[in-house]
Amino acid sequence: MSATLAQAALTAPQGFLSPSGVEIAFLLVGIATLGAAVMTVTTRQLVHAALWLVVALGGLAVEYLLLTAEFIAWVQVLIYVGSIVVLLLFGLMLTKAPIGRSPDADSGNRWVALTVAVAAAGTLVWVVVDAFRTSWIDLDGPAQGSTKVSGEILFRHWVLPFEALSVLLLAALVGAIVLSRKSAPDDTPGEASAAAAPGGRSAAAPGEPSAAAPPETESR
Amino acid sequence: MHLAYPAVLAVLLFCTGLYGVLARRNAILVLMSVELMLNAVNLNLVAFDVWLRDTLHGGQALTLFTIAIAAAEIGIGLAIVLAVYRNRGSSDIDRLRDTAEGPDPADPEGPEDPAAPAQKAEAAA
């Protein structure tokens, strides 16, 4: 630890009060990211929450670029902004989320949640600032997260976890299909009552437009 | 760059996501807040990987793994939310209290949620 501190002291050309250009850029993008994140969790329009999430995740991609992790930044843009937010928007549409302001977007325990979040933020900020007061990141030299470096370390040292991760993705894919398909045709009493119970609302859901249709058309 | 910048930003993003998970009512908004928390962890991993100059770049590899696991999590989570919506006609997590240990079954809900017993009754029918 003392070696790390000494190295940090050697590679620390400036202090708090003379930020470099990359620090100013990081700070500005960080403020925008944090504002978008706060809007995501506080807005009352559900679709706007997903769109603010796009801003927050895009800001984080810029932060990765500023930290010279280039490949992570593009993966972030591709996967989070490109697929996960689109998936969330599809989920909002399939569950018939109200367009416009919904007055009950926050539950009744939001003040307890706010207290917990502010207490956790205060404690963690205090601990982190106290711990890394004298630590500087040396961003000079070759980029540490370029696509070449990432590919080399991923397929040279991390091949086995990578393959295990592909198995996990396959399992998640199969699990999502199993969860979202209709039940078997011999379960028709349970299925009929479940479909009729919410007052026809689920029968008109756009994902399953023919809940009253014969089940053979949907369960493959 | 000072290490405190990315660390403090990650802390604040994590706590924003924590507030969202605790305070939101819609299940899909809770999933969005979980994504914010995972992204805060990713920012920490990248920052510490660049700081420590790890030769294996374990932080960046773990970040890629976290992104993939987040994609799997959001797929499974949305499938569960859609299944619950199809069965119950609602995706409000405040109303999904069938397994709650209420002290009094005559008054299981708060005063802000008067439609919940009827919802549960017709879901159980």
- What pLDDT does A203 receive? 39
Is A144 near chain B, with CB under 8 Å?
A: yes
CA distance A200 to A182: 17
The whole domain housing B74 covers 4-97+114-124
Whether residues A104 and B25 touch (CB distance < 8 A) is answered with yes
Type of residue numbered B93: I
Q: What is the CATH number of the domain that holds B61?
A: 1.10.287.3510
Residue B57 and residue A149: Cβ atoms within 8 Å? yes
**Residue in A22, A92, A172 nearest the CB of B28:** A92
Q: Which of A44-58, A189-203, B50-64, B72-86 has the lowest mean pLDDT?
A: A189-203
List the single residue in B35, B78, B122 with the smallest CB-CB distance to A198: B122
CA distances from A206 to A91, B6, B27, B86 (A): 11, 42, 19, 11
Two tokens at A160?
């086995």
B20 lies in some domain: yes
Does any CB of chain A come closer than 8 Å to the CB of residue B98? no
Q: ipTM score of the complex?
A: 0.79
The domain tally of chain B equals 1
Residue B60 lies in a domain: yes
B44, part of any domain: yes
Q: 3-state SS of chain B?
A: CECHHHHHHHHHHHHHHHHHHHHECEHHHHHHHHHHHHHHHHHHHHHHHHHHCCCCCHHHHHHHHHHHHHHHHHHHHHHHHHHHHHHHCCCECCCCCCCCCCCCCCCCCCCCCCCHHHHHHHHHC
**B37 occurs within a structural domain:** yes
* Cα–Cα distance, A52 to A32 (Å, whole number): 11
> Chain A contact for B29, CB < 8 A?
yes
pLDDT in tens, chain A (220 residues): 455 555 544 444 555 567 788 899 999 999 999 999 999 999 988 899 999 999 999 999 999 999 999 999 999 999 998 899 999 999 999 888 777 777 777 777 889 999 999 999 999 999 999 999 888 888 887 878 888 989 999 999 999 999 999 999 999 999 999 988 876 666 544 444 444 444 434 433 444 433 333 333 333 3
Contact with chain B for residue A2, Cβ under 8 A: no
Look at residue B13 and tell me if it is in a domain. Answer: yes
Q: Which residues contact B105 (CB under 8 A, 6 or more apart)?
A: none
Chain A interface includes B115 (CB < 8 A): no
Residues of B in contact with A163 (CB under 8 A): none
